[in-house]
Structure 1
């Protein structure tokens, strides 16, 4: 059966038949450190909308080394080490980085820039998309379970 969105690696597969609740280009230092990318295309789904076929094979580690007790865990394949998703310990969201987690171009490009910090010294994006110092102002965190 095909799904609206699917990714993962050859050992662990993820999919969603629901649209993301947020889609942005992230400029935060944590994403830069974890991905090695200057900016990262980040997509939030409601937690229960992303299905994982072999969750028991995931290796979990803190997403933010400076906040190891924070809510997000980086989940990688215990067999090949590929990044699979970020999982929220509060069960609010699951996060996909399309170009690193097997989703490729299945998800629309990000409509805005998030977590831009003018103090970083990096020029403010000028591609016409809105730029925010956090998530878009109308974003509402879903309830956890």
Structure 2
């Protein structure tokens, strides 16, 4: 399998063997809380398109502290605490945040749209020419789970 993108840390290597199925700039409050960033470049991959070489070295914590039983978990390295990926307990997707998860952000494709923007956030809608949506892009279809 050809590696398209590689991330992780020195203890756990995370590789993507395909292009993202969704690639957006996220404005959601959970991403803001988790990353501390105003917006976050997020890439969704089909679950099987991201591999981890040492799954035994992963600690899982809820992605959304206000919904701890939700489907997404943050995967952390048990050796150094690095954020490795988001994993979907339903087996649909795995998520890379290039500038947080050890990827070379410059090699990642640019986000194609803005997701989860709403006027209550207190800042103007993005004006960079990419579409802006209140959720994921309307054509996105969640892959089948495991």
Q: TM-score range by the shorter chain?
A: over 0.9
Q: TM-score w.r.t. structure 2 length?
A: 0.97
Q: Which residue of the partner structure matches residue 126 of structure 1?
A: 127
Alignment of 1:51-90 (within 5 A): 51-90=51-90
Deviations 1:4-59 (A, max 9, x none): 11110000001122111000000000000000000000000000110000011001
| Counterpart-to-counterpart distance in 2, 1:15 and 1:90 | 20
The Cα shift of 1:2 comes to 6.5
| Counterpart-to-counterpart distance in 2, 1:4 and 1:49 | 10
Q: Which residue of the partner structure matches residue 116 of structure 2?
A: 115
| Counterpart-to-counterpart distance in 2, 1:63 and 1:20 | 20
Q: Which residue of the partner structure matches residue 24 of structure 1?
A: 24
The Cα shift of 1:106 comes to 2.2
Unaligned runs of 5+ in 1: none
The Cα shift of 1:107 comes to 1.2
The Cα shift of 1:103 comes to 1.2
Unaligned runs of 5+ in 2: none
Secondary structure, aligned partner of 1:14: strand
Deviations 1:90-138 (A, max 9, x none): 0000000000111122211101000001111111101111000000000
Alignment of 1:4-19 (within 5 A): 4-19=4-19
1:141 matched to 2:138? no
- What is the root-mean-square deviation in Å for CA atoms of aligned residues? 1.1
Secondary structure, aligned partner of 2:107: coil
| Counterpart-to-counterpart distance in 2, 1:80 and 1:117 | 36
Moved over 3 A (4+): none
* Kept in 1: contact 2:2–2:17 (CA 8 A): no
